Chains A and B, each alone.
Chain A
Amino acid sequence: AQSVTQLDSHVSVSEGTPVLLRCNYSSSYSPSLFWYVQHPNKGLQLLLKYTSAATLVKGINGFEAEFKKSETSFHLTKPSAHMSDAAEYFCVVIRRDDKIIFGKGTRLHILP
């Protein structure tokens, strides 16, 4: 069965340093993949999505993600972290039967 794994439940980085949030999926085909962000006490907001066009996807707030089929990964990156990036990030995969599968989430902490 298709699934999505977020490898880290918590990530801490210093302000101004790069961010890497890891996501791996299991699938026999190229799925649709999303990253959503949830700030404290808020609903989720779409950061970016991959739907089989360009493998490098640019999103809002300087985030981007690269789809790597050989590694079945869709890691989220940002060159320089900002305090406002502190939030929880969800990787989402859409199965072939249109089921929506959310990862467990990665909480990003930004150190001053």
Chain B
Amino acid sequence: DARVTQTPRDKVTEMGQEVTMRCQPILGHNTVFWYRQTMMQGLELLAYFRNRAPLDDSGMPKDRFSAEMPDATLATLKIQPSEPRDSAVYFCASGMTPIPYNEQFFGPGTRLTVL
């Protein structure tokens, strides 16, 4: 049963600390998305990659956030330095082209709390 995995599932950190979230897409999927979900803003697309190249990161705050795909089996989202307003659930999703017209498969999310 192929699925997207995300680690950690929960993260509590203090303001100013670096946070790294990891995602393992479904094997063979060539597109990876990062989303952020909060009660106030709902679901926001932060960035997505196709064949490991960033395609759209217009939704991501550039000053503190960065997203990379070191290889086809790992995507990372880093926040440095973290702030309380970054508290949210971060979802990774993967899929196959033609994205975005094909289904996205979502991971279980990383719940981030910044104190």
| Chain A residues at the B interface, C-beta cutoff of 8 Å | 32, 41-46, 49, 51, 90, 94, 98-100, 102, 104-105
* Partner among A43, A90, A98, A100 whose Cβ is within 8 Å of the Cβ of B108: A43
- Interface membership of B14, Cβ < 8 A: no
Is B34 among interface residues, defined by CB-CB distance under 8 A? Answer: no
Q: Are A94 and B101 in contact (CB under 8 A)?
A: yes
Instruction: For the complex, give the distance between the alpha carbons of A51 and B103 in Å.
Output: 12
Would you call B4 an interface residue if the criterion is a C-beta within 8 Å of the partner chain's C-beta atoms? yes
Q: Is the CB of A49 within 8 A of B103?
A: yes
B107 at the interface (CB under 8 A from A): yes
CB-contact partner of A45 in B42, B43, B56, B106, under 8 A: B106
B108 touches A105 (CB 8 A): no
B61 at the interface (CB under 8 A from A): no
- Determine the chain B residues whose CB is within 8 A of the CB of A102 once the complex forms: 42-43, 45
Whether the pair A43, B109 counts as a contact (CB closer than 8 A) is yes
Question: What separation, in Å, do the CA atoms of A97 and B93 have in the docked complex?
Answer: 20
5 A-B pairs with least C-beta separation: A43-B106, A46-B103, A44-B106, A102-B43, A100-B100
Interface pairs (15), CB distance under 8 Å: A41-B109, A43-B4, A43-B108, A44-B43, A44-B91, A44-B93, A45-B106, A46-B103, A46-B104, A51-B101, A94-B100, A100-B45, A102-B45, A104-B42, A105-B42
**A-chain residues with CB within 8 Å of residue B91 when the two chains form the complex:** 43-44
Q: How many pairs of A and B residues are in contact by the CB < 8 Å rule?
A: 36
Contacts of A32 in B (CB 8 A): 100-101
**A102-B43, A105-B42 known; A42 and B108 CB under 8 Å?**
yes
Chain A CB within 10 Å — which of B45, B93, B106 has the most? B106
Chain B residues with CB under 8 Å of A43's CB are 4, 91, 93, 106-109
Minimum C-beta distance from A27 to chain B (A): 15
- Residues of A within 8 Å of B43, CB to CB, are 44, 90, 102, 105
Measured in the bound complex, the distance between the Cα atoms of B74 and A76 in whole Å is 35
